[in-house]
Chain A
Amino acid sequence: MCAAICPSGVHERKTGHNRVSKPRSYLCIGKECENNPLYCIDHCPRKALSIVQNQNYTSIGDSRWTREFILGTWKQAETGLPLQGLKYEIGSSGGGFDGLLFKFQKEGRTEAIEESAINTELELNKRDGRKISIKVPFYGGGMSFGSVGLKVMLARAKAAKAWGTFTCTGEGGYPDALKPYDDNMITQVATGLFGVSEDSIQRVKIVEFKYAQGAKPGLGGHLLGDKVTSEVARMREAVAGSSLFSPFPFHSVYSVEDHKKHVDWIREINPDALISVKVSTPSDIDMVAVGSYYAGAHIIHLDGSYGGTGAAPDIAKKNIAMPIEYAIPKVHEFLKEEGIRDKITVIASGGIRTAYDAAKAIALGSDGVVIGTSDLVALGCVRCGCCESNRGCPRGIATTDPELSEVISVEWGAQRLINLYAAWRSTLISILKQLGMQSITELVGRYDCLMNSEHTKGKDD
């Protein structure tokens, strides 16, 4: 009986078997099903089924990525549908995005707007020259070959192509397998200059300078020896088995003028490319942003300290440089004061977990966001945090180990990401609709759409 009715396929009778297989509990949607006419518990003729919350699930998640966020991301990756409910809007970290809610209008204009007329497109080039727009106001952050496997890179590239957006190679070379996706790739030039060549720069539309990354500000990139397999080493023109440090800083950049030289060098090689400058969030982040603009950058990419996908020292993630939530309005305001806010695109990353976070970041003053960890979670990451060793990732994501990579396939991964992006886009559209806006660009810097959700105002919590 149960096998016939469960809409989620928990119960199954294998062809040729008399007895029903063990319930595939992980497919069960739980108590929410109660009101469904197909609720198995009510239907079992002998009352043989019961439902309890699986105690395994109590150990997933933490205060930043709550259980709901992880399971919710999995669900979106599976179904492509947006989720609703406060538990998907704010986590339990007690501050930042988790302390902000949207102030939706109760009545009025919102009905008038057709969802299909709402525009989530974002133009990345606010200067002269070739225009490049993305269909959704987010793109994939840098994850290098070596820190993640080729399958993950391909899945991300496919999803980016499907949604008309970008994903980034990170600092580890540009595998040839990505050739068909050149138009959706960003390549990174970082302090170690691993795998950077004229060819890789000419292949892409956007080149990203990585000055620092939020999770390890001031520390540079770091690929532990364990992950430097011979394949990775070849790509990076390095020696297998030795840890690869991408030293910090660019030892040739000690001023905005030096930085400009770098930008000019890239423009020499690929005059059409947009230049993105990825920086983390020191106390003078506003000066850094202005400096980058005058050096010729099209995009200033602020990477806050709480995010990041690769291995980073815990001390850095928690303590060095400010969270992105504070960096965005600081930069937004300063660029406005300097009169150049409409000449540079501000992109935020480092702790954008959900579409709600993305919308909040935009309302705080960025144009769009970059995502990393959410991509990985969609691919099955449980955030066990063992990404630093090549044989540490149980999901075959943060590894180039052939045996572990077996776990995922490119097609499956791409579809999960495509679904996730679809769910995010729907969520953004519904937020815009409820705010009475027609385009994502209207939301930029609209602090008035946000309100404090903290229990006690004026106290740290």
Chain B
Amino acid sequence: MPKKYSIAGSAAPPRFQPVGKFVIERNEDECIHCGRCTLVCLHDVHKRRGDDPRFISEPVNYLCKGCFRCIQECPKEALTIKNNEEWLLLGDSYWTPETFGKIWYQAETGSIPVSGTGYTGPFSGEGFDSMWTDMSEIVRPTRDGIHGREYISTSVYIGRKAQMLTFDNKGKIKSPLPPTLSIPIPLIFDIIPFRFSKNVYESLVKAASFLGTFMIIDLDEWFNSKYQANLVPFFANLSKKMNQKLMFPEFEGVIKKCKMVEIAYDLEVLKVVEEIKRLKNEMIVSVRIPFGDSTNKIVEELAFAGVEVLHLCADVNGKVISSSDKNRFVKDGILDAHRLLVEHKIRDEVTLMLSGGIAMAEHVAKAIICGADVTAVDLPLLIALECRYCKRCQNGLSCPVELKALNSDYGAQRIINLMRAWRNQLLEVLGAMGLRDVRRLRGEVGRAILHEDIRHETFEKILRSEGVTNNIKSSN
């Protein structure tokens, strides 16, 4: 059994007041500073002023849970509550305000989000929200990993698996083992969508190194640091440069230093792979393929040619790039690729990595169920650093959370906290399904409840029996 892996968290409170869901307004003309609100609020929103305790200070809005208690108890009806406009404007339809709130909470505390009185969101949605994961009971056992009574492994391998072992007559392994890397969580850090100052990259790579995973990084951002062992340099346009004999002198140096590289897909990608393997045979090469209509063809071609890691990437919202069907979601894309490789009986010779749209812990589990070996995250890492995804930095404007001034140790801690919470949630999903190893989750579509299927099996069957196709407009 491998050494028990666990991630230690430690509180990392936000540097800026996060955007909260509610705004509490105190009408200063009405308020008599009686302090009732400071007593009734269970979440420390209302406090007396430190410098002058005769007065009540501005409400700390982001802590408010919207329980209405202070509103009702204030003797002067001086308080009102409303939805925070700024909250509603956070992110977009995929990166919802709730997602931000949850990531911030996890990055601060390292704990998994827990709440009472049931689920509050929509019945189902698109993409990852159109499936549920299974659980075991009575007729098959579950695992209790959450409370640490049984160890559940979350580690995965990157690289090719040996199809079989051959032994010499002394019982030693004879067949050469293909190069593999092992990471303790099925997550690596992807290229982040915006360009940043060095301290941000440093936060990321410190976290990656602490966790024992890798971080893919644009070659331009490749920097000499003591964390190089955890970096995976990404090369774009490598084949063009090779054809024009423009190979830059550092190329060999970079190759020598790292265990894994990633290159962008193009028609001559195999030549590049060959060149890299010539320089360093035990190098793990990943090819970054944008999800699109021809993904399956590419996957087939590269897998048969012996490329060990195929990184399929969707856009930041998990939608496929360059496809005739704009709404195709990455989970369906990975499912197709996985099934194709299974059909060809070469599934275990490649590692499938998925990125794009991984916003919450459950997405990791669901991507794996749909056939990914590893997932790569991007935006949540930034959000953990308090980024609001306002894209001001992309337009040369100032960053509301001043990421330039971020201390990289603190930043790393926030990311570690987030990953800790994600891993623990993955353990919950695995435990509920009765699995003790995340690798057994891969491609277990039979243990997923797909919305289309279950609806077809139940609602559609029974509602159709009457030929009901009424399109009654509902009131929502």
Measuring CB to CB, which residues of chain A are less than 8 angstroms from any residue of chain B?
A: 22, 26, 55-56, 58-60, 62-65, 86-87, 90-96, 98-99, 101, 103, 211-212, 215, 217-220, 224, 245, 247-249, 253-256, 259, 279-280, 282-284, 287-288, 291-292, 305-323, 325-326, 329-330, 350-351, 364, 373, 376, 381-388, 391-395, 398, 447-448, 450-457, 460
Looking at the complex, which one of B42, B77, B123 makes contact with A394 (CB distance below 8 Å)? Answer: B42
Chain A residues whose C-beta falls within 8 Å of the C-beta of B139 in the assembled complex: 255-256, 284, 287-288, 291
Of the candidates B67, B138, B141, B431, the one having the most CB atoms from chain A within 10 angstroms of its own CB is B138
Chain A residues whose C-beta falls within 8 Å of the C-beta of B366 in the assembled complex: 319
Q: How far is the CA of A296 from the CA of B471 in the complex (A)?
A: 44
Q: How far is the CA of A319 from the CA of B472 in the complex (A)?
A: 29
Interface 1/0s, chain B 118-134, versus A by CB < 8 A?
Answer: 11111111100010111
A388:B429 contact, CB within 8 angstroms = no
Chain A residue with the shortest CB-CB distance to B366: A319
Q: Does B202 contact A (CB under 8 A)?
A: no
Q: How far is the CA of A45 from the CA of B431 in the complex (A)?
A: 69
Q: How far is the CA of A325 from the CA of B451 in the complex (A)?
A: 12
Given contacts A219-B432, A326-B459, A391-B42, whether A313 and B135 have CB atoms under 8 Å apart is: no
Chain A residues whose C-beta falls within 8 Å of the C-beta of B68 in the assembled complex: 56, 60, 382, 394
B361:A315 contact, CB within 8 angstroms = yes
Q: What 5 A-B pairs come out closest when comparing CB atoms?
A: A218-B432, A387-B116, A95-B123, A92-B476, A385-B115
Chain B residues whose C-beta falls within 8 Å of the C-beta of A393 in the assembled complex: 42
A247:B147 contact, CB within 8 angstroms = yes
Q: How far is the CA of A320 from the CA of B455 in the complex (A)?
A: 16
Q: Does B474 contact A (CB under 8 A)?
A: yes
B144:A316 contact, CB within 8 angstroms = no
CB distance from A165 to the nearest CB of B (A): 22
Q: How many residues of B contact A (CB 8 A)?
A: 82
Say what secondary structure dominates the interface of chain A: loop
A22:B67 contact, CB within 8 angstroms = no
Q: How far is the CA of A323 from the CA of B183 in the complex (A)?
A: 34
A219:B42 contact, CB within 8 angstroms = no
Q: Does B245 contact A (CB under 8 A)?
A: no
Looking at the complex, which one of A22, A217, A454 makes contact with B77 (CB distance below 8 Å)? Answer: A22
Measuring CB to CB, which residues of chain B are less than 8 angstroms from any residue of chain A?
A: 22, 40, 42-43, 65-69, 71-72, 77, 80-83, 102, 112-126, 130, 132-142, 144, 146-147, 149, 360-362, 365-366, 425, 428-429, 431-434, 447, 449, 451-452, 454-455, 457-459, 462-463, 465-466, 468-476
Q: How far is the CA of A460 from the CA of B77 in the complex (A)?
A: 44
B133:A385 contact, CB within 8 angstroms = no
Chain A residues whose C-beta falls within 8 Å of the C-beta of B135 in the assembled complex: 212, 217-218, 280, 282, 320-321
Chain A residue with the shortest CB-CB distance to B40: A394
Chain B residues whose C-beta falls within 8 Å of the C-beta of A259 in the assembled complex: 138
CB distance from A261 to the nearest CB of B (A): 12
28 contacts between A and B (CB under 8 A): A55-B82, A63-B121, A64-B118, A64-B121, A86-B475, A90-B476, A98-B476, A101-B472, A219-B146, A256-B139, A283-B449, A288-B139, A312-B114, A316-B432, A320-B432, A326-B458, A364-B462, A384-B65, A386-B65, A386-B116, A387-B117, A391-B42, A394-B40, A394-B69, A451-B470, A453-B472, A454-B474, A457-B471
Q: How far is the CA of A26 from the CA of B71 in the complex (A)?
A: 11
Looking at the complex, which one of A26, A211, A398, A455 makes contact with B471 (CB distance below 8 Å)? Answer: A455
Chain B residues whose C-beta falls within 8 Å of the C-beta of A215 in the assembled complex: 118-119
B459:A387 contact, CB within 8 angstroms = no
